[in-house]
Amino acid sequence: MIKPHGSDKLNPLYVIDAAQRAKLVAEAKNLPSIVISSAAAGNAVMMGCGYFNPLKGFMNKRDALSVAEGMKTSTGLFWPVPIINVVKDASAVKGQKRIALKDPNVDGNPVIAIQDVEAIETFTADEMKMMTQKIFRTEDPEHPGVAAFNSVGTTVISGPIQVLSFSYFEKEFPETFRTAYQIREEMTKAKWNKVVAFQTRNPMHRAHEELCRMAKDAVKADGILIHMLLGKLKKGDIPADVRDASIRKMVELYFPPNTVMITGYGFDMLYAGPREAVLHAVFRQNCGCTHLIVGRDHAGVGSYYGPFDAQTIFHNEVPKGSLEIEIFEADHTAWSKKLNRVVMMRDVPDHKPEDFVMLSGTKVRQMLGAGQPLPEEFSRPEVAKILSAYYQAEDAKAKK
């Protein structure tokens, strides 16, 4: 198992000691407080879990601009995207040195973390524009990540944090939500030394299933970490609980026992394509994974990124030696009618489009919503059944 990013030992910011945590929760009741954004809450959860090791808290303006511009902090730490607590109005905590950060995603806005305030600064319009362009490679307000990034404000509150809660993730996904340190513990118990991680925000069809096997075999891994995003998505994406159920059914029926670990992490999707792929690599290294599958359109949305931009960034922009985790570069995978199996398209140059079983996302949704079976070469029937029930329920709601 490889060491975490930026340190020899994982340093999660969640206060594990129950007595100390209770003391801090009591202290927080008397502290000046502010309700933070969903993105900042996700950042706090990720730092609490150890996924964002070795960060100690939210970046200041200088570090945020440096990370956006050149993927490193002012002290030289490699990091792909700014990890910031940005608000529209910080007047409630102005001049304070210690504040309570309240969770926007849980009823009653309970305290998610305590922050020692080092600075309260403001990004200029030009600085917001630069960060947006560098992180997302576009300033199009229709891009869901761009829209979210530019909607939360321009005032940045920086400083170290102590995390007191994992927001709604632990309660809503008790079987799936795991911290980086828990994943490391489970891998150690399973005696997995070489592990390939698969990132997903979608259900897994036959091509994804086979891609995990291909990667595991290619790198001779001991196991596969299927690591799904549990946070906020754009409209139209399938909810985490439906994805979770379909992935668990696929693994239960089609993978040998003790070869796959199904877990999830609490973070809102950025849809930042290449930069987000690098962030995915950082926090999979913090989980202990030795390899991350990066495929076609990884972490992308629409046509904002080239199909393999998320792979080329590791060659062209990530300085050599910045990360220990290795990237398994995958091509688009699909069922070959000629070979009667799932293949990577780059491996079958003699194939024509009609030689593959391929369905667009729109076509899949239409078929599932109508209760029509998907081709078995495209999706396992047990997975399709779970997804079909979801889409039919959604269609029924829409017609009311």
Catalytic annotation, pick one of 11, 98, 193, 201: 201
Active-site annotation holds for 60: no
Active-site annotation holds for 201: yes
How many CB atoms within 10 Å of residue 353?
8
Please enumerate in sequence order all residues whose Cβ is within 8 A of that of 86, keeping only pairs 6 or more positions apart, or say none. Answer: 37, 39, 40, 123, 152, 153, 154, 155, 156, 157
Measured CA to CA, the distance from residue 294 to residue 302 in angstroms comes to 17
Q: What is the DSSP string of 244-275?
A: HHHHHHHHHHHS-TTSEEEEEE-------THH
Please enumerate in sequence order all residues whose Cβ is within 8 A of that of 190, keeping only pairs 6 or more positions apart, or say none. Answer: 222, 223, 258, 261
Per the structure block, which two tokens stand in for 148?
């979210």
DSSP-derived secondary structure letter, 350: T
Per the structure block, which two tokens stand in for 22?
């209770």
Catalytic annotation, pick one of 11, 109, 202, 296: 202
SS3 239: coil
Measured CA to CA, the distance from residue 120 to residue 244 in angstroms comes to 39
Given a contact cutoff of 8 angstroms between Cβ atoms, the answer to whether 302 and 265 are in contact is no
Catalytic residues: 201-202
